[in-house]
Amino acid sequence: MNDSYTPPKVWTWEAPSGGQFASINRPVSGATHDKALPVGRHPFQLYSLATPNGVKVTVMFEELLAAGIKEAEYDAWLIKIGDGDQFGSGFVEANPNSKIPALIDRSGAEPLRVFESASILMHLAEKFGMFLPSSGPARTEVLNWVFWQMGSAPYLGGGFGHFYAYAPEKWQYPIDRFSMETKRQLDVLDKQLAKHAYIAGDAYSIADIAIWPWYGQLALGRLYNAAEFLDVASYRHVMAWAEKIDARPAVQRGRMVNRPFGEPSSQLHERHDAADFDTKTQDKMGG
């Protein structure tokens, strides 16, 4: 970076920061407009978008349904974050942090809001007794990795991804800083996966569901057009794991839900019914 910057004594918001998504960044919280959230007929109402954090939850729902748990039927409603849908009054009520995904669980006596992707994964795993051991060291290990992802991915997305792909200019210092950290994280995963079939051991779990949309898709070349730059192929255990998870039908379906970008054949909007969804999925995937 050639231009030096002297921070003022007190920072003030004077202009958009520039770069992709600058129009939706602001230093205050809360709703900007009144907009109620739609409600469908299933027990779970998901308000989301197929970003990595959103894909975690749709994959979880699809894995539960693939396991035969019909009680996990859900309605998925598209939240267009580029249009500011997350600042509507209904969404802010569901998640005061105005970030996707947000879930309203209507399966009980009173609607229950669940926000933050890890909280949603844990809520669903505990509710249905799937993909998270009920107790003991195995449960702790899964949660270790779930929270590893929650603490690590901001360096990948908000750090590396922002400065490498979205910032208005390319600056070496932040790109070097966050590339180093991203590669360190990939190395952490590679060494773990050298010893285990899945992230937290021998069983597929919410640790895999949480980590794959970020690091698995990075390894598969789907994030930031950065696979060559980061030499992801050198992390061979991560690559093998990423491909294995990617081959799961529920993961393939989960990636399609609320996806407004990419090839039309990779998109499926506002998923409401499993039977209808399966038909549409087969049509889109050539089945």
The predicted-structure confidence for 46-83, as pLDDT tens digits, reads as follows 999 999 999 999 999 999 999 999 999 999 999 999 99
Identify each DSSP E strand in 84-243 by its residue range.
102-105, 112-115
The pTM (predicted TM-score) of the whole model is: 0.91
Report the distance separating Cα 164 and Cα 175, nearest Å: 6
* Mean pLDDT over each residue of the chain, to the nearest integer: 92
Report the distance separating Cα 130 and Cα 66, nearest Å: 12
Q: Is residue 239 part of a domain?
A: yes
Q: Is residue 53 part of a domain?
A: no
Q: Is residue 70 part of a domain?
A: no
Q: What is the CATH number of the domain that holds 248?
A: 1.20.1050.10
Q: Read off the pLDDT of each residue in 133-155 and give the average, rounded to a whole number.
A: 98
Q: Is residue 209 part of a domain?
A: yes
Q: For residue 156, with 0-12 CB atoms within 10 Å meaning exposed, 13-18 middle and 19 or more buried, which class applies?
A: buried
pLDDT of residue 166: 95
Report the distance separating Cα 250 and Cα 260, nearest Å: 19
Report the distance separating Cα 72 and Cα 62, nearest Å: 9
The predicted-structure confidence for 166-195, as pLDDT tens digits, reads as follows 999 999 999 999 999 999 999 999 999 999
- Amino acid sitting at position 58: T
What confidence tier does 267 reach under pLDDT thresholds 50, 70, 90? confident
pLDDT of residue 286: 32
What confidence tier does 274 reach under pLDDT thresholds 50, 70, 90? low
DSSP summary character for residue 234: G
What confidence tier does 215 reach under pLDDT thresholds 50, 70, 90? very high
Within 10 A of 272 (CB to CB), how many other CB atoms are there?
15
Task: Please state the domain count of the chain.
Answer: 1
Q: Is residue 237 part of a domain?
A: yes
- Residue 204's domain spans which residues? 136-253
Between strands 44-48 and 74-78, the pairing is parallel
Q: Is residue 178 part of a domain?
A: yes
Q: Is residue 119 part of a domain?
A: no
Q: Is residue 187 part of a domain?
A: yes
Preceding peptide of 101 cis, ω within 30° = yes
